[in-house]
């Protein structure tokens, strides 16, 4: 499905990672696995450091901290927020919506729209599409897109498939109208028949969490996890990405009438270094144009890896320069989406840390 | 240049690949070993195995891997 938006832009971007850092080398002892094979894996996949929230820190804590940072710096005026869109797979509660919790904690105005979107690695793209759709309304002039996940809390520390790469993070992206007739192209695809490739089996209504769902099972390959934990079919997800993403980007560029060479940066979701480099090779994109360094520094925080990649790799340049950027996300659902836009001359593009404290009681 | 047998030995020194017809079923390679093997084959033979070729069927035994490599112009 193609989308085209006129007269909208990203005007600011803030990424937030916990100050608390885990190290793959130190965590290797958790995995019942030879050290030499773990080290080889670290080298190929880019496992090294990852940022993890401390117990008690929830998505609303990260979001409130990031938004208060912007308010305090005069970078965002609370009353100008007409819509708060939160993309997360790890809400504070099943109900109410975490966006409402954030609105309440910040005492934002009542005359606004708050909504949660349950999405993962393509969530940043879906959030941007939703923000642009909302801006078609006369009454909505500025949308705050918060993308945040604390997936480490739902990942087994004894699952070598997932834990070494998982990271927690949040981002705030300001999307607003602009007078110029800039064009944003987007492309989105979904395949719910493959919904079990990435799943947390227990904790919803189908299989409520119980003491039994918290028991660690031997799931093979020396991995142990509970039904309350994230389950990822790594091979299926890898193959899905390699098969589906390159044609999606071709289709996006074709719809926009652009060539691959005209793109300055391909900022994709960051599952791991190996997967991104294989994607770049297949698309014939130079590795230098497709950063793949987020997992090794911060971990994979689902859709938030895209704004983290922008802030980490281009933060200083985003204030003064403009780039033709292709964004892409792919994951749970299964969902794969991409966006082509001009990104730059931002009023802020920073990466900050959430201090080592617990969340609110 | 290293042979395919030497590359496999590097990935799993303790495994007896010569005795197996199905590396996955016999527990010699898991999905992460497959990734490590691809990275090593890429580096050793100066190729880039396409992501769509990284499926278990292409790494099941010596013959399957050799057939894959031959498609990239490598005779292991």
Q: For residues A346 and A10, is the Cβ–Cβ distance under 8 A? A: yes
* Structure tokens given for A42: 């670290």
My answer on whether omega of the bond before A334 falls inside 30° of 0, hence cis, is yes
Are B51 and A40 within 8 A, CB to CB? no
Inter-chain Cβ pairs, chain A and chain B, closer than 8 A: 55
Q: Give Dmax (Cα) for chain B.
A: 29
Over the stretch A192-231, which tens digit does the pLDDT of each residue have?
Answer: 999 999 999 999 999 999 999 999 999 887 789 999 999 9
Q: Phi and psi (nearest 5°) for A317?
A: -80, -20
Task: Assess B2–A contact: CB distance below 8 Å, yes or no.
Answer: no
Q: Count the domains in chain A.
A: 1
Q: Where are the beta strands (DSSP E) in chain A?
A: 2-6, 8-18, 21-23, 49-51, 83-87, 113-117, 142-149, 169-177, 183-190, 198-199, 217-218, 224-225, 231-232, 265-268, 322-331, 335-344, 349-354
Look up the pTM and report it: 0.94
For residue B9, name the pLDDT band (cuts at 50, 70, 90): confident
Return the DSSP state at A228: T
d(CA A107, CA A78): 9
d(CA A88, CA A67): 16
Residues in chain A with pLDDT values less than 70: 358-361
* CA A79 remoteness from chain centre: 26
Percent of chain A with pLDDT over 70: 99
- Number of C-beta neighbours around residue A142 at 10 A: 20
Structural domain of A118 = 1-361
pLDDT of residue A361: 45
Report the gap between the CA of B56 and the closest CA in chain A (Å).
Answer: 8
**A8-18 vs A349-354, strand pairing mode:** parallel
B4-71 folds as 1.10.1200
pLDDT of residue A360: 66
**What is the chain B residue with the closest CA to A161?**
B32
Residue A241: list chain B partners with CB under 8 A: 51
For residue B36, name the pLDDT band (cuts at 50, 70, 90): confident
pLDDT of residue A359: 64
Q: For residues A238 and B54, is the Cβ–Cβ distance under 8 A? A: yes
Q: For residues B24 and B56, is the Cβ–Cβ distance under 8 A? A: yes
pLDDT of residue B19: 84
pLDDT of residue A235: 84
Q: For residues A329 and A270, is the Cβ–Cβ distance under 8 A? A: no
Report the gap between the CA of A223 and the closest CA in chain B (Å).
Answer: 12
* CA A100 remoteness from chain centre: 20
What are the domain boundaries of chain B? 4-71
Over the stretch A107-124, which tens digit does the pLDDT of each residue have?
Answer: 999 999 999 999 999 999
pLDDT of residue B15: 81
Q: Note whether ipTM > 0.90 here.
A: no
- For position A350, which CATH number holds? 3.40.47.10
Residue A44: list chain B partners with CB under 8 A: 35-36, 39
Report the gap between the CA of B42 and the closest CA in chain A (Å).
Answer: 11
């Amino acid at each position: 499905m193609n989308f085209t938006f006129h007269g909208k832009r990203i005007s600011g971007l803030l990424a937030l990672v916990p100050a608390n850092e885990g190290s793959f080398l130190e965590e290797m002892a958790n995995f019942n696995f030879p050290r030499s094979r773990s080290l080889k894996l670290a080298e190929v996949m880019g496992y090294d450091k990852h940022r993890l929230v401390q117990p008690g820190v929830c998505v609303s804590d990260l979001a409130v901290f990031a938004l208060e940072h912007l308010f305090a710096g005069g970078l965002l005026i609370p009353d100008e927020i007409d819509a708060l869109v939160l993309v997360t797979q790890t809400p504070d509660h099943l109900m109410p919506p975490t966006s409402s919790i954030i609105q309440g904690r910040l005492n934002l105005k009542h005359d606004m729209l708050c909504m949660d979107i349950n999405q993962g690695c393509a969530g940043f793209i879906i959030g941007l599409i939703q923000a642009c759709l909302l801006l078609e309304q006369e009454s909505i002039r500025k949308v705050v897109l918060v993308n945040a996940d604390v997936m480490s809390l739902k990942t087994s520390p004894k699952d070598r498939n997932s834990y070494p790469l998982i990271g927690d993070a949040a981002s705030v992206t300001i999307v607003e109208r602009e007078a110029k007739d800039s064009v944003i192209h987007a492309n989105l695809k979904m395949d719910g028949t493959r919904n079990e490739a990435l799943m947390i089996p227990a904790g919803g209504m189908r299989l409520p969490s119980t003491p039994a769902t918290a028991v660690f099972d031997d799931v093979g390959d020396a991995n142990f996890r509970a039904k309350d934990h994230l389950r990822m079919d790594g091979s299926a997800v890898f193959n899905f990405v390699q098969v589906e993403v390159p044609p999606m980007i071709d289709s996006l560029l074709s719809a926009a009438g652009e060539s691959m060479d005209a793109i300055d940066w391909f900022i994709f979701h960051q599952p791991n270094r190996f997967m991104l480099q294989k994607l770049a090779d297949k698309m014939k994109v130079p590795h230098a144009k497709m950063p793949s360094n987020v997992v090794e520094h911060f971990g994979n925080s689902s859709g938030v890896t895209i704004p983290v990649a922008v802030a980490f790799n281009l933060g200083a340049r985003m204030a003064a320069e403009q780039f033709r950027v292709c964004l892409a996300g792919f994951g749970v659902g299964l969902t794969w989406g991409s966006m082509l836009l001009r990104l730059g001359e931002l009023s802020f593009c920073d990466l900050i840390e959430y201090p080592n404290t617990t969340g609110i009681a | 240049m290293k042979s395919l047998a030497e590359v496999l030995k590097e990935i799993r020194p303790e495994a007896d690949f010569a005795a197996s017809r199905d590396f996955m079923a016999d527990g010699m390679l898991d999905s992460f070993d497959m990734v490590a093997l691809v990275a090593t084959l890429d580096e050793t033979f100066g190729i880039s195995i396409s992501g769509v070729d990284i499926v278990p069927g292409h790494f099941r035994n010596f013959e399957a891997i050799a057939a894959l490599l031959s498609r990239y112009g490598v005779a292991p």
